Structure 1
Amino acid sequence: MIKKTMVVAAAALLGSSFALAGDVARGKEKSAACAACHGADGNSPAPAFPRIGGQHEDYLLQSLLSYKNGSRKNAIMAAQVGALSKQDMADLAAYYASQDGPLVSRR
């Protein structure tokens, strides 16, 4: 019982994203709206949109959470994340983190 209490307390101290594990397959399913700007694999060919493929999963998740809570300002992204749950955002972060970045190939 003491160990369980310690784990719960540690999770509370580290924040809610600690408990979120993203699912790559579910993230891919949810990424259709993102692909319009960021490209299907997160490597947009348009220089106006950030390349998010291959970024660190925790960075992507924190960015999405920041757009949702308003601490990171971008009207387009705020509208895009408005209806997403924390799990949806974790799944998207896992998917894009699993993709190749512009300078790194995992294949």
Structure 2
Amino acid sequence: MKIMLTLFSAAALAFASSHALAGDPRAGESKAEACIACHGADGNSPAPAFPRIGGQYESYLLHSLRGYKSGDRPNPIMADIVKDLSDRDLRDLAAYYAAQDSGLYVPRRGQ
């Protein structure tokens, strides 16, 4: 019984920790003002010079944003935009854009 309680407690703590690290899309929307000019409000810029980030995996977006901030992913424009953002801000932005529709048309088989 004690082992089961320990396992349950560990699982609950892991779930709570992962949830606490997840971004908040609603908070991300309010932080996305600087992103809209290039990527569009929903992350689907019609300009080919700017990547479509709407609907991307949250983990990929967060990894990219952290890379811009740390300099591991060199891009002077993005580095300047994220330099003063907290990790919470980056998580929220990643969650917001991940929650958007990708805007890409994917034909179904037979269409």
Q: Which TM class, normalised by the smaller chain length?
A: 0.7 to 0.9
Query: Deviation per CA, 1:58-103, whole angstroms, max 9, x where unpaired?
Result: 0000000011011000000000000100000000000000000022
Matches of 1:32 and 1:24, distance apart in 2: 14
Matches of 2:53 and 2:38, distance apart in 1: 11
Q: 2:33 is matched with which residue?
A: 32
User: Of the two, which has the highest radius of gyration?
Assistant: 2
Aligned-residue CA RMSD in angstroms?
A: 2.8
Runs of 5+ unmatched residues, structure 2: 1-5, 107-111
Deviation at 1:104, TM superposition (A): 6.0
Runs of 5+ unmatched residues, structure 1: 11-16
Matches of 1:20 and 1:48, distance apart in 2: 31
Q: 2:82 is matched with which residue?
A: 81
Deviation at 1:29, TM superposition (A): 0.3
Matches of 2:105 and 2:21, distance apart in 1: 26
- AA aligned to 1:88 is D
TM-score by length of structure 1 reads 0.80
Matches of 1:81 and 1:104, distance apart in 2: 30
- AA aligned to 1:68 is K
Residues matched between the structures, number:
100
1:99 and 2:100 correspond: yes
Deviation at 1:20, TM superposition (A): 1.8
Q: 2:23 is matched with which residue?
A: 22
Matches of 2:35 and 2:59, distance apart in 1: 18
Q: Secondary structure at the match of 1:62?
A: helix
- AA aligned to 2:68 is Y
Q: Percent identity?
A: 63
Kept in 2, the 8 Å contact 1:54–1:98? The answer is yes
Deviation at 1:45, TM superposition (A): 0.9
TM-score by length of structure 2 reads 0.77
